[in-house]
Structure 1
Amino acid sequence: MGASSSKEQNVSSEQREVESLAASTGSTSLLQNAFSKLADPQTNAIPLQSLQQCFSLNYKSTECEALKMPDSLLGLLDHLGPSMVDLFFITDKGGVNWIEFVRGYLKCCGRMPVSVLLNTLLRLFSATGVKAGIPLKLEVEAIDDGEYKISGSLLPIDVLMFLWMCWAMLWNSRTWNFLKEKECLYLPDISPLVLSAVVSCAEDGSGLELWDCDVSVLDVQLPAGKFLTWMLTTVTNLTECFTQFVNARLQNCTSSEQDTLESSSSSLREISSEKACNSCLLTCGKAWAISLTIRSAISQEILNPYFPSNSDATDENLIYRSSLHGKGLNRFWSNIEGYLGPMLILISATSGDASEDSTNCRKWIVGALTHQGFENRDMFYGTSGTLYAISPVFHMYSPSGKEKNFVYSHLHPTGRVYEARPKPVGIAFGGTIGNERVYMDGDFSRVTVRHHAVDKTYQQGSLFPNQGFLPAEALILEVEVWGLGGRKAREIQFSYKKREDLFTAQRRKVDMKTFASWEDSPEKMMTDMMADPNRVRREDR
């Protein structure tokens, strides 16, 4: 049998080699089960049509978070399965044998540098676009055995299609066992992410008008080499969409259709209507963009509220929202205190004329990811963190390694009457005290964003378009804090709040026996003083 173990005496060195590489990925049993399920017993090979069907995406309709879907997207997804098989699996007359099946899997999910995986993903998009008849300007040239060079350019609409193709693979792998309506695809709004690629790759990207920009009609060329560099520095986790899809589809093909349906009644209409009613700053598209910059468990946690398998995650992960819990540092602190896991804070602000009819009103969102809980301190602290420009253009600013002024959070001082040099009350990220990169006052009414020259903690870059060199002050519209520490961090915070409530209740208790004693009552003291005010009393010590 083709999937037999390499311990047998008649196994070739070629089979031993590919099986050893597959074992390093931990997927040997998955590949054996999938091959046994898909292979024809007579030829001991997988028929070409069966393998294409295994990786096919047959979505009939879509629901978009905001953008209008290009007409060619569904056609692109229809050709994904055949393109994968043609690109990565070598077939003979009988189909794909065991060795070529494992070798094809290694081309998709093998242990290789991220740059090679991103190159593979862009090759797949180019090959799928050719099959779907989409006029792409990408050229793929084979340099050496297993190495390829991609040249040419992409339009912003091509970048949108490419990212949505990656999202479709992730959505399929995360919802296959839970979503009843498998023929409908939910698409997030990823305009800020596409504009990030445009600004970074286009020659005149910085001179474009980026406020309320429609990426589907932008006519700028993005060189393929620069686009690969942008992916490598901004969305390194994009490869997980592809590898999770390949593993999930091989896993699903070993189960019967009855098993995969399970007992879930989730539907896309229920999910999309829930998302439409949810006016949180952290939309599905923004959450996915942030997750693509993180290669850790946080990447999965931040996306949990947007998949049907985790319908209750929104209420659990949203720790604080100013419009819901009240504005100000005190209200903020009462909700986040005791949470010791990673947290994502988003600040929505408007600069210019904030009236509804004004055309000069510019709304933008910035964010910061901290890897520890907030502390009430009069100095900067933290071990790691990331700054984000969320909207209208997405950018990530990781630590520069020069300073460690990651977070500043300071409440009104308690127990102090006078301070010669009081420290500012509020929340800040980067920079120094009095000269912070991002500073939000204690009332959560205004936020100040300064040029990156004042900050040596985070990397350089603008937090919104046309930021300039002078400090920019804006009105705060909304503040959100999302907990990304998982169930354990929430349980620890719940225990902390329960303990604090108990201590508060104990401090409020009144000893009725002492209170009822006339000798110890304030009334007796006042009566004695009025009876003989000149009486000398020894101070009780």
Structure 2
Amino acid sequence: MGQAASTVQSVSPEQREVEKEASSLGALPMLRRAFSKLADPETKAVPRENLLQCFNIVYKGQSDASNIPKLFPVLLDHFGSSIVDQFFMPAEGQITWIEFVRGYNRCCTRMSASVSLNMLLRVLRSTVGRANVPINLEFESDDTDCKVNGSLLPSDVLLLLLMCWSMSWDCRSLKHSERKVSLSPPNLNHLVLSAITSCAEIDSGLNVWDGDFSSSEIQIPAGKFVTWVLSTVPCLSDCLSQFFHARLQNQATAGDELAPSNSSVEDVSLTTECDNDILTHGRAWAIGLTQRSTINEEISEVCFPRGKEGMDERLLYRSSAHGKGLNRFWSHVEGYNGPLLILIAASSGQTHEGSSVVTKWVIGALTNQGFENKDLFYGSSGCLYAISPVFHVFPPSGKEKNFVYSHLHPARRVYEPHPKPVGIAFGGTMGNERIFIDEDFARVTVRHHAIDKTYQHGPLLPDQGFLAIEGLISEVEVWGLGGHVAKKVQESYKKREELFTEQRRKVDLKTFASWEDSPENMMMDMMSDPNAVRREDR
């Protein structure tokens, strides 16, 4: 007992405090294992070089890729050192146990999204500064919740997004290390343009349809950029803490060698295989950043698939592969009771200064439930998305609940004095929908947000006026985000429907064994004397 008491007394109040905070996060056992593998047995401290190796990301992609800035590989070379110096602040190149735990708490403790974003911007400034690239970001104090001043260039925003993408990819590759898939960073221009159009004062020289802002000197105020992140892609601020935890978790469970904790980003054919999808890796990641529910985990399988089959099992319908039209669509989504993401790629013509220009765009809608054949609006929640060329999200406004409308032709043709529209719609009211897809999947109509009280206001297309825009549909995709359970339920539903259909086609000949009970005899009797008194109808 005396020895136990002396052991407890040997723990300083500072150590007890940091361990208590780490224990509340459920990370203390993991940190002990990671520290024991990283620390020098003699000094009982972690050398700075070991932590650098733990948090380092090595880029081995094509440096001449059109969507990757030349500065990006250089940025990643300094990323690990920025992480170590930002959170551990090693004294004389050694990190003690208390400093190790405090560094974890500083990055991964429960905090507001604004504080997490503040830390992320500090890491960006430190990393870019180490690469000898100027950036106009200033912090009023060393407090993590202080105000951020200055501004960002579009190129700075792109570097930040690519850095966050790399951290998200790294977490995913470490989680599924048994089937590691390397991906090159995707095209994220739609997110950069979203930040520009939401935060900056745009002159007439920026053409969002072109998407080229590489040489743009547009100033994006830091304060407005923070507001844009928190309102549009709030999960972006979580990328740093998730990466931090995943790297230490991997170190705790890995062998004695430090090499496996290093990750490399490489170009592989899987990236180009998905180029024909509307839901590219970059678009899927952007949509995932807007959701903090289980949908985020499901759509991450599209961003960072463990194989091509991981994407195919979530793709329920694609018009180019399964056929256009509401009936073909319905045969693939019926019975799926889970969140669904529907994407529409279309084009429309615009007349400007006497010349006609055809523009291509992508919009989408996320529903929290499957589609139903109804002649009125239904649903409990959902979001609309402007995806390309500019990304925006429009969550529920809370005023109305006209989330989804999906109506097929009735099975029996009956006279309807006021027939209901046949097609799929989101928001607005009957006959005045915010998004309406016709039954042939040939045209989509996008109306002004003023007619919609279900989803928040905002343009689904750049330069969208008050008049309705009619686009020619080139592709429609539906992705199931309800997990394996929803997929199995749909498969059971389809098997049951196929069984019922097969049973209806069969005729039980035993019931017509005699001529008296045969349908042919009954038809002959009716034709010969239709007014004759007969037995009761059966």
Query: Aligned match of 2:409 in 384, 393, 412?
Result: 412
Aligned-residue offset at 1:453: 0.4
Query: What residue is the counterpart of 1:40 in the other structure?
Result: 40
Per-residue Cα deviation, 1:315-374 (whole angstroms, up to 9, x for no partner): 1100011111111111111111111010000011111189xxx96111111100000111
Give distance in 1, aligned partners of 2:109 and 2:155: 30
Give distance in 2, aligned partners of 1:415 and 1:184: 53
1:229 aligns with 2:227: yes
Aligned-residue offset at 1:284: 0.3
Query: What residue is the counterpart of 2:333 in the other structure?
Result: 336
Q: 1:44 to 1:527 in 2, by over 3 A?
A: closer
Is the 1:405–1:430 contact (alpha carbons within 8 Å) kept by the matching residues of 2? yes
Is the 2:18–2:101 contact (alpha carbons within 8 Å) kept by the matching residues of 1? yes
Give distance in 2, aligned partners of 1:359 and 1:433: 32
Give distance in 1, aligned partners of 2:166 and 2:69: 14
Aligned-residue offset at 1:431: 0.7
Query: What residue is the counterpart of 1:19 in the other structure?
Result: 19
1:61 aligns with 2:56: no
SS in 1 for 2:94: coil
Query: What residue is the counterpart of 2:295 in the other structure?
Result: 298
SS in 1 for 2:57: coil
Aligned-residue offset at 1:448: 0.8
Is the 2:344–2:476 contact (alpha carbons within 8 Å) kept by the matching residues of 1? yes
Give distance in 1, aligned partners of 2:301 and 2:494: 25
Q: How does 1:252-263 map onto structure 2 within 5 Å? A: 252-254=250-252, 255-256=254-255
Q: How does 1:276-295 map onto structure 2 within 5 Å? A: 276=275, 279-295=276-292
TM-score (norm 2): 0.91
Give distance in 1, aligned partners of 2:272 and 2:202: 39
Unaligned runs of 5+ in 2: none
Query: Aligned match of 1:501 in 495, 498, 507?
Result: 498
Q: Identity rate of aligned residues, in percent?
A: 57
Give distance in 2, aligned partners of 1:112 and 1:95: 28
Give distance in 2, aligned partners of 1:6 and 1:338: 65
Q: 1:148 to 1:528 in 2, by over 3 A?
A: closer
Give distance in 2, aligned partners of 1:36 and 1:79: 25
Q: 1:499 to 1:63 in 2, by over 3 A?
A: farther
Aligned-residue offset at 1:308: 4.7
Aligned-residue offset at 1:56: 0.8
Q: 1:370 to 1:34 in 2, by over 3 A?
A: same
Is the 2:282–2:303 contact (alpha carbons within 8 Å) kept by the matching residues of 1? no
Unaligned runs of 5+ in 1: none
Give distance in 2, aligned partners of 1:41 and 1:149: 42
Aligned-residue offset at 1:80: 0.5
Query: What residue is the counterpart of 1:86 in the other structure?
Result: 85
TM-score (norm 1): 0.91
Give distance in 2, aligned partners of 1:260 and 1:79: 18
1:436 aligns with 2:461: no
Is the 1:63–1:272 contact (alpha carbons within 8 Å) kept by the matching residues of 2? no
Matched AA of 1:431? G
Q: 1:204 to 1:319 in 2, by over 3 A?
A: same
Aligned-residue offset at 1:219: 2.3
Is the 1:179–1:267 contact (alpha carbons within 8 Å) kept by the matching residues of 2? no
Give distance in 1, aligned partners of 2:6 and 2:401: 52
Q: How does 1:294-373 map onto structure 2 within 5 Å? A: 294-352=291-349, 360-373=357-370
Give distance in 2, aligned partners of 1:149 and 1:286: 30
Q: 1:296 to 1:62 in 2, by over 3 A?
A: farther
Aligned-residue offset at 1:504: 1.1
Q: Count residues in correspondence.
A: 527
Query: What residue is the counterpart of 2:240 in the other structure?
Result: 242
Matched AA of 1:300? E
Is the 2:194–2:392 contact (alpha carbons within 8 Å) kept by the matching residues of 1? yes
Per-residue Cα deviation, 1:444-491 (whole angstroms, up to 9, x for no partner): 111111100000110000001111001111111111100001111101
How large is the Cα RMSD of the aligned pairs? 2.8
Q: 1:535 to 1:153 in 2, by over 3 A?
A: closer
Aligned-residue offset at 1:67: 3.9
Query: What residue is the counterpart of 1:220 in the other structure?
Result: 218
Query: What residue is the counterpart of 1:524 in the other structure?
Result: 521
Is the 1:271–1:308 contact (alpha carbons within 8 Å) kept by the matching residues of 2? no
Give distance in 2, aligned partners of 1:180 and 1:538: 75
SS in 1 for 2:10: coil
1:187 aligns with 2:181: no
Matched AA of 2:190? P
Q: Higher mean Cα deviation, 162-171 or 148-157? A: 148-157
Q: 1:159 to 1:359 in 2, by over 3 A?
A: farther
Per-residue Cα deviation, 1:500-534 (whole angstroms, up to 9, x for no partner): 1111111111112334532234443455566x558
